[in-house]
Amino acid sequence: MWAYRTNVESKLRPIVEIKNLVLNSPSVQSLILTKQDSIAAGEIFSKLAADIRPPVLKLFGWFLRKLWRSIYDKVVVDEKTLKKIAKWRQEQKCPTIYLPTHRSYIDFLVISYVLFSYGLEVPYIAAREDFLKILLVNHVLRHSGAFFIKSNAGSEELYQAIFSEYIKVLLRHSQPIEFFLEGTRSRTGKMLHPKLGMLKICTDTYYDGEIKDL
């Protein structure tokens, strides 16, 4: 196993800094008209945002290593492509989007584990808000990069503005992001039709000239 080591901790943005950038953005501020709106915005961000903590990542990685060895004979890794990604991220300093299929809950765990094991930054991962109901697991996931998306929030203008700006802030700071294009887990093993909401936020950020590449 090669190790393209990066200083992951130095590239992470403090969650307080990200919160300030999101909540003070023009798109969000235009919707905060009262003190109650301001409190609601803070609560939305706190429930949504990931808070990556390297010590938790290392502990979770150790647990996953034990898990893989107990349920799989081997995991095949495309090292050649990983090297290309690592080189591209170092030279271009642009955000990377990982789009795995979602045929099981193993998909995103394997990707994050492989990236971490090979010294690449662990991505910020879109997870359903349902995971917040699972005690302890929700904290492990949040501190390992998961951010939690509220289902059926299309009519909630303040939530949509905060969510969209959160993704854009991560992209502007060249953070890797991972989400499932299908939006939800396949229960049949077949690919599902794509849901393009998050992908549109990412591509709009590029086409609006806020990032130089994606």
> Domains of the chain by range and CATH?
13-71+86-207 (3.40.1130.10)
pTM for this predicted structure: 0.88
The rounded distance, in Å, linking the Cα atoms of 175 and 156 is 26
Would you state the structure tokens that stand for residue 95, as one six-digit string? 């955000």
pLDDT at position 2 over 90:
no
Contact 22, 28 (CB under 8 A): yes
The rounded distance, in Å, linking the Cα atoms of 101 and 182 is 7
Coil, helix or strand for 69? helix
Task: Give the pLDDT confidence of 87-135 residue by residue, as tens digits.
Answer: 988 888 889 999 887 777 788 888 888 998 888 999 999 998 988 989 8
DSSP for 186-210 reads: -SSSSPPPP--HHHHHHHHHHHTTS
Task: Give the pLDDT confidence of 24-58 residue by residue, as tens digits.
Answer: 999 999 999 999 999 999 999 999 999 999 999 99
pLDDT at position 4 over 50:
no
Contact 149, 142 (CB under 8 A): no
